[in-house]
Amino acid sequence: MNMIFGVKDRPKFGQTILFAIQQLLAIMAATLVVPVITNGATGSTLSPAAALFGAGVGTLVYLLFTKFRSPVFLGSSFAFLGSMAAAFAGGVSMTLGYAGLILGAVFAGFVYVIIAAAVKVAGVKWLDRLMPVVVIGPTVSIIGLSLAGNAVSDLIKGSVVNAEGAAVASPLITVLCGLAALLVTMLCATYGKKMVRLIPFILGILAGYAVAAVFTLIGNATATDALKVLDFSKLSVLWENGVTLKTFVNYELVTKDFVFLKAAKGFAELNWGYVSAIAVAYVPVAFVVFAEHIADHKNISSIIGKDLLKDPGLSRTLLGDGVGSMAGALLGGCPNTTYGESVACVAITRNASVVTILATAILAMLVSFFSPFVAFVNSIPGCVMGGVCIALYGFIAVSGLKMIQQVDLGKDNNLFVVSTILVTGIGGLSLTFGKITITPVAVALILGILANQILKGRSANRD
């Protein structure tokens, strides 16, 4: 795929800001949701804004380790949700739980550091033998396809809810809003000229938001709940108590919301039993996320036409991811990981500029303090993001399918490897061992590796 902006290119300042906003919108919802889910499961008070700040810092760490040669953004990892919940299990105090979040991220980060050291010594040729295109291609597709259900379910979600917490908008209306966002995104990316072609997600989200706002205003005027898609109260919180400094700047993030401040007293409560429980909860998951790290970097390498596992090198990307996760958890509590949404954004916009990723990281840190922007993102209805995510997740899946084109599926060994990965991944096969869950993507990848090793050399063609 020909890039409009290559890895080393530097777009103009105004363009860079727009590109950064687009990247931020692509990754922001998922990054903010991880602490929200953890809070609901554990009663903790993790700050989504702090998680966003941590993602920005983690990405800066990643860029430094990779010498600004890899256009990858790190965001809050869903894979560690069970691990994060385990930090608060067993009636531990909140302060100890926050300390556990930091300790767990350190354990996970060290797994990456150890693997990076091994890669530095042994090189990456073994990885190409272990995970050739016949394995990585369908695995990348699974990353996108495994998210397809999320995009489709979001299409029927409006922001306005009733007393029972159920959305009041008609699914027909929400789907129209989502499809409007998708249509504008597709048209801008395909037929747009110059800047329009480079910011299709911004324009798609704004178009879907506008359609949702029109339906909601009509619904409010006619008292028709089925048309109420957009919850304006998520914006009104900015001025309902008067316009103050806090209306624009979330200064409490600095004074109390960073996790290391909440965890300060918890470190004194650490004991070997708790430390070992945290290690068991985090370390195995780190190996799972390592597999997804490989798949994401193989994917973006195929998109930009440059093997990132060789330059800047897998050891550097692993160190950046691992240390970046530690930094992100220290601030927001959430270990970070590479984001498929970010990779898809690079693919669709054909903008692989690392300067854009750097600007996105800085912007993520700045807007975490800027209440109006956070409020706007929180007010975007699920249906609008669902429409945009159809394109984002679809591009991830298609990137994997393009890799599979290099594979001779007329040979039985290749056919069985690809089909094993696709069926187990799409079917959602996951394995749980106590508090540890191996995700469907990781299970599919492991089974694909095993199948490929067992069938290697058996290349009979089908008639």
**Torsion angle of the four alpha carbons 200, 201, 206, 207, in this order, in degrees rounded to the nearest 10:** 60
Written as six digits, the tokens of 301 are 């390498």
Determine contact, residues 113/63, Cβ cutoff 8 Å: no
Return d(Cα 299, Cα 406) in angstroms, integer.
14
The per-residue pLDDT for 90 is: 76
Q: At what angle do helices 382-404 and 272-304 cross, to 10 degrees?
A: 70
Instruction: Please tell me the predicted confidence (pLDDT) of residue 461.
Output: 58
Residue-level pLDDT at 176: 95
Phi, psi of 337, deg, nearest 5: -155, 165
Question: Which conformational region is residue 244 in: left (phi greater than 0), alpha (psi within -120 to 50 degrees), or beta?
Answer: beta
Work out the burial of residue 16: count CB atoms within 10 Å of its CB; fewer than 13 is exposed, 13-18 middle, 19 or more buried. buried
Tokens of 138: 């369908």
Looking at residue 246, its amino acid is K
Which one-letter DSSP state was computed for residue 338? Answer: E
Q: How is 240-263 classified by DSSP, letter by letter?
A: TT---HHHHB-THIIIIISHHHHT
Instruction: Report how far apart, in Å, the C-alpha atoms of 417 and of each of 161, 314, 400, 402, 412 are.
Output: 45, 25, 14, 16, 9
Per-residue confidence (pLDDT) for residue 358, from 0 to 100: 97
Question: What pLDDT, on the 0 to 100 scale, is given for residue 242?
Answer: 56
Give me the pLDDT at residue 460, please: 54
For tokens 């911004």, name the residue.
202
Q: How far is CA 202 from the centre of its chain?
A: 18
- DSSP class of residue 269? G
Spatial contact of 103 and 326, defined as CB atoms under 8 Å apart: no
Cβ neighbours of 408 (radius 10 Å): 11
Domain extent listing, the chain: 13-455
- Closest by CA position to 282, among listed 71, 100, 46: 100
Residue-by-residue pLDDT tens, the chain, 463 positions? 678 899 999 999 999 999 999 999 888 877 887 887 788 778 888 888 899 999 999 999 999 999 999 999 998 887 788 788 889 987 788 999 999 999 999 999 999 999 899 888 888 787 778 888 898 889 888 878 887 888 888 898 888 877 777 888 999 999 999 999 999 999 998 998 878 888 898 899 999 999 999 999 999 999 999 999 998 887 776 666 555 656 677 777 766 889 999 998 899 998 988 998 888 888 877 877 887 788 889 889 988 989 998 899 999 999 999 999 999 999 998 899 888 788 888 988 899 999 999 999 999 999 888 878 777 877 888 899 889 889 888 888 888 888 888 888 889 999 999 999 999 989 988 887 765 667 788 888 889 999 999 998 665 555 5
Q: Can you tell me whether residue 182 is helix, strand or coil?
A: helix
**What pTM value is reported for the model?**
0.81
3 state DSSP class of 230:
coil
| Dihedral angle sign, alpha carbons of residues 195, 201, 205, 211 | positive
- Would you give the DSSP letter of residue 264? T
Question: Which residues are within 8 A (CB) of 125 and not within 5 positions of it... i.e. 6 or more apart?
Answer: none
What are the CA-CA distances from residue 221 to residues 147, 231, 298, 355 (Å)? 36, 14, 51, 46
